[in-house]
Structures are given as structure tokens and as C-alpha cells.
Amino acid sequence: MQLAAGPVEGELGPSGYGGRVQHHVIVFAFDGVRLMDVAAPWRSSPPPRVTRAPTPCGCAPPAAGTSPRPPACGSRIAADVPVERVDRADTLVVPGPADLDAFRKEPALIDQVARLAATAQRVAAVCTGAFALAAAGLLRGRRATTHWEHAAELARLHPDIQVTPDAIYVQDGPVLTSAGVTAGIDVCLALVEQDLGPEAARRVARDLVVFLQRPGGQSQFSAASRTTATRHPVLRPLLDAIAADPASDHSPQALAGHAGASPRHLSRLFRDQTGSTPAAYVETMRLEAARILLEHGESVTSAARRSGLGSDETLRRTFARHLGTTPSAYAARFRTTRTAPPSTRTATP
């Protein structure tokens, strides 16, 4: 992959600069980078009447990179100059690596991120690019997010970061982090709005046919919850029973009776093995069942009844609390084209 860097010229409005200025937006590319994480900032730049610097993609910030090898998808990205020659980055955008383990074996990449960030007025990460910012010390003491699949790992490796796993993007001072892949568009739209105003951001959003501000959090896009991979002889049969028929009576008392254990002992087992209470675990599995039903065309009322959540109102409250959206909005976005009625059984390992 060839490497590049260069200025983007635009009229900066609400941010207070005024007039026509050079604003250097650098997208850092490297071996194994996710191409979509690079393309999202490129494609989210304002149209040519606002952004004036020609680049390989037509109307977007250039990339700075580190090697002639291709990104994770096997494609090659044409650029202008190697990252070592970049001495200014008003806005630095760091895409995510496809292979975090391989990325951690390249400390030189982290050094380059730290060096470029030192010249930047603000820094943004796309998806697992947050790990690069964290390794460079840029997220210490800050709020941040990343792809839902890696949020727990980010929190574990960097306890000095306040990880917000459900956010589409998080801005803490001059540092922005975003969720997986397409959330790079969301964070870049936020940057466009900050620099060029809401109308410019709306034009870009309309051009991309995306929300200017996406409703809800990233949990609604995450993979379905799965029963905990425990082999505990008391708990495993209960978890399987909840997954097989979430609408049955799974009150703490009923579960304790099935297990032949006291409610207190069972609650302790749940906390040790699942990190949750029996009631919270059952609600999570019922929520997943409702999601599956809605995705396959069931009505809100039917999904509430068949999942065990009971009423439309309970289903709405549960969706709002866990997913930050409504059942109807979720169904509109995720309903499958297939009409075969699904089982309410939730996924197991």
C-alpha cells in the first residue's frame, strides 16, 4: 500500500476559524488495516463544493501509511507520501486493524500514531483503532468506545479508560472513538458538523443515505446473546431450559425448585458463572427471543407474548433500557425478508 498525506481546504464555520483555511486531515493506513475503516472517513468528507483538495478518491482527506503491502481485504490504496514525511495533522483519523494480535506486535505503528497525534488538534479512531489510541496513551483517563465485540477487551487491557460499550461514538475533549466499521461514518459526520456546520453534515448524510445521528446504541447491532459457556452441573441444565423456552416460568423460586437449591445459593451460582442475577439473565434471554421474533416478522404483541416478556409495554421498556430503541423501530431496521415463523429458542454455544 502506498502512503499519502495532504491538506483538505474548506470553509470552517461554527468552530470559529472563519474564512477559507487549510485543515490537514490525515487518515493513517497500515498493514492489515480494515479497508472500510479507511474508506468511511474518505467517503464522509463534504462534497467538492466544500472540500477542495483532489485525492485518489475524488473528494476526501488523504491517507498516511507505513508499507507497500495491502490492507486486510487484499486491495491496495494509492496515496501520496509515506507517514514519516507527515509533519502536520490538524485532524488525525486512525482506522482499525483486522487482526489485533498482529497489530500489537508492531510497536512502530503505535509510535507513529503518538507522533502524529502530538501535532493534531483532535484525534479520531474508527472501530478497533481505539486500541492504537489507547496504546499510545491518548485515551488515559478518558471515555471511549470501540466495536461491541472488543469493548470488554479494551476495558480489561486499559483499566484507566472508561469504556462505553453501547455508544456509536464518544467524544471526550479532542479525542473521538467510534464503534465498528460503519460507525466511522458517524464519527466523521460529527467532525464535519463541528468544522463546517450542520448543513454541510446533512448534505453528506443525504449523499450517503445515512442518518445524520443514528438512533439508539450499537447493542442493537450486536450479535445475539448466547447462553453462558458453563459446564456447572447445577446451572447448565437451567440455562439450557431458559434458552429452550424463555416464556416459561423462570422466576428465581421456580429455578431454585428445578435446581434443588435455595434461591440464595442459586443467585450466588448465577453471579459466579454468568456475572448476572437470575432475573437479569432471564430478561436478557427473553429480549433475545423477542429480537428474533421481530426480525422474522412477528408483531410487537406476539413477540412480547412468545418471548415471555408479556405485554407490549414491558417489551418497549426492555428495548429502551437495553437497546436504546423501540421494538417497532428495531423491526423496521432488521426484519428479514423471509416469512417462516421462528422458534423462540435462543442460541446456544
204 and 260 both lie in a single domain: no
Residue 98 pLDDT grade (very low, low, confident, very high; cuts 50, 70, 90): confident
Residue 226 inside a domain? The answer is no
Residue 229 inside a domain? The answer is no
User: For the whole model, what pTM was predicted?
Assistant: 0.64
49 and 159 both lie in a single domain: yes
Task: Report residue 112: phi and psi, to 5°.
Answer: -65, -40
pLDDT digits (tens, 9 = 90+) for 54-70: 333 323 344 555 444 44
Range of the structural domain that residue 21 is part of: 8-218
pLDDT of residue 72: 47
SS3 state of residue 27: strand
69 and 213 both lie in a single domain: yes
265 and 316 both lie in a single domain: yes
- CATH number of the domain where residue 283 is located: 1.10.10.60
- CATH number of the domain where residue 60 is located: 3.40.50.880
pLDDT of residue 224: 52
| Lowest mean per-residue pLDDT among 34-38, 234-238, 261-265 | 34-38
pLDDT of residue 20: 43
Q: Classify residue 275 as left (phi > 0), alpha (psi -120 to 50) or beta.
A: left
Q: Which amino acid is at 297?
A: G
Nearest Cα residue to 8 out of 56, 45, 43, 57: 45
166 and 198 both lie in a single domain: yes
Residue 312 inside a domain? The answer is yes
